[in-house]
Amino acid sequence: MRLRNLATMASVLPFLLPAVPALAQDKEPEKEPVIVVTGHGLEQTPATPAYDVIEIEREKIVSGSSGRIEDVLGSVAGFQQFRRSDSRSSNPSAQGVTLRALGGNATSRALVLLDAVPISDPFFGYIPLSAVAPERLESIRVTRGGGSGPFGSGALAGAIELESADAATLGLLSGQASINSRAETELSGTVAPQIGEGFAVVSGRWDRGKGFYTTPEEQRVPATVRAKFDSWSASARVVQPVADNLELQLRGLAFQDQRVLRFAGADTSSEGQDISARLVSRGAWQVDAVAYAQWRNFTNKVISSTTFNLSLDQKDTPSTGVGGKLEVRPPVGEDHTLRFGADYRRSEGNLAEDSYNATTKALTAHRFAGGKNTDLGFFLEDDWEIGPVTLTGGVRADHYQIQDGYFRSVNAAGVTTIDNTFADRSDWTASWRAGAVFEATEGLRLRTAAYTGLRLPTLNELYRPFVVFPVTTQANAALGNERLKGFEAGIDWQATENVNVSLTAFDNEVEDAITNVTPDPVNAPNIRQRQNIDAIKAQGIEFATQLAFGQISFDGTLAYTDAKMQSSGVQAALDGFRPAQTPEWAASGTVSWRPADGMTFAATLRHVGLQYEDDQENDALPAATTVDLFAQVPLVDKLSFVGRVENLFDETIVTRNQGGSMDIGVPLTVWGGFRYGF
């Protein structure tokens, strides 16, 4: 970890934390206070059900067929990464996540939080999925839509909240070790002791393997290699009470991920170090204050698909993210839950890369780019409970700055050929959200909501061009902010204790959506540029059900989304096309059988509909349907055997198709191993 940057973290804390101890004191503390340490934030507010929310419990989180967090999130229909590849075989910069088919580029349009801290890469906006070990989590809450509100900017398509497990859930010792049919391994372990009235958690994980061929057999050449991967992550967390109703949570994370993509020498890596501090007060004045700092880096080597020589070496992309949030809930009476506060985020990064002639291998240019984005937001929201009706409404104001942007190119002789500095810009923008929940009868709930949201372009979108041969995508320093407006209505029905059904209809529109556009598809079909189009409009229906009949249970989700680009002027040719990488249909269903305590057998069917690689709907990614299996059988004490099968019927999953040049996803893979303490 770069300790010199800890000063940045320290500079954030004073703005967020001083008020907390004073607010935490009750006027008349109990004579014998009972201190309860949870390691979580404040409880959800009464109007949370006004939005389309799905919760995933730990039992399901640790039962994924691949052992990867993206596999767990894939059980929510409508969740998607930019590409269908998982975090073992994709380029990390393509790991942007979104919801509701609001895709079209590789940056995340959904905000992902780990213990209230945004975890997206400060430069690229992708999610470091390999650093998020499912076994460390207790629950996941996915809010589709819902606007920015208290979540902050970036929650355009929704928010994904990851909650770490506490010591009571994890037990003192837990771990697992598995090996698959390609002799790839997965090893993890956790120690979670009780310390005083709180606890600590130390966890590590290591995944490595030779990988599978992402290139179809008929397209392989001598330079083709398997998608080798080697990644590790380590985390530490301490939770302690510091006063009555006041809890301190400290967390640290370090990770490194190395992959090889398609050709020998096409090496890519990502690494990071994160720290955060959180104070939670559960007194009369409830407070949640968090501050964090992140240091990340990314490297990538591009190999020509014609000469198989190095054409681009993205050798260094260091970035820093700092920020925090303060939320206060004053005592305003039993019928109201008022919360207000502020949040701040700053992303800063730089790119250094070398370009080569792929035929002669000669160095042609050194390129440098970077900048800084900041966002300061203020929010106010109130939930009002009136008998069977709960109303909610909130407003938000964001002051953003896009500054210090530059792009410079120096040729092999050391002569500067391009030296661009881009004008700073800043402004205020307002957003709002409102909703209502009506408990019509016992077990029947009706809800509706309307909202707006904001996302700033990332440093990557603004300043970094990239190549996925033969396509070159240009950056665009003039990109504007994306704005969401949407509304939805839904019904939640608990027919019996064991039968739950949810249905949501939504209409979401992202104005000034950033998309990879082909400016001249006739004369330059392989040149794209990031541009703001008029809008992406998505209308659809989301369905979810949970059924339980004794030892048998079923969890299913289904999403149909009609997403279209709205374009005019020089982009008029895109009007009515579906955004790149966006399916109409997505579905997931899992049948589980639990015949005894600690014993589980499960089968999951997933379907992703037809998608297109490009904005012209020329290169299709066919629909794919897969079946995965999971089994856990107790052996002795807390030791269990675990078996997993990915892609049981070896379905061909096309993850990239650029003019017929294709990549494919994970083939049939069988895992076996042991776990302790689960």
Q: What is the pLDDT of residue 615?
A: 79
Which tokens hold the place of 596?
């005894």
d(CA 607, CA 659): 24
Which tokens hold the place of 209?
């393997």
User: In this structure, are residues 647 and 666 in contact, taking their beta carbons and an 8 Å threshold?
Assistant: yes
Q: What is the pLDDT of residue 21?
A: 41
d(CA 518, CA 531): 10
| Per-block mean pLDDT, blocks of 10 residues, the chain (678 long) | 42 41 45 69 94 94 94 93 90 91 85 96 95 96 91 92 96 97 98 96 98 96 97 98 94 98 96 98 96 98 93 96 98 95 97 95 96 98 97 97 97 96 97 96 96 95 80 89 96 95 97 86 82 94 96 96 91 89 95 95 97 88 97 96 98 93 96 96
Q: What is the pLDDT of residue 381?
A: 97
User: CB-based contacts of 367: which residues, under 8 Å, 6+ apart?
Assistant: 351, 352, 353, 354, 355, 407, 408, 409, 410
Q: What is the pLDDT of residue 106?
A: 81
d(CA 233, CA 115): 17
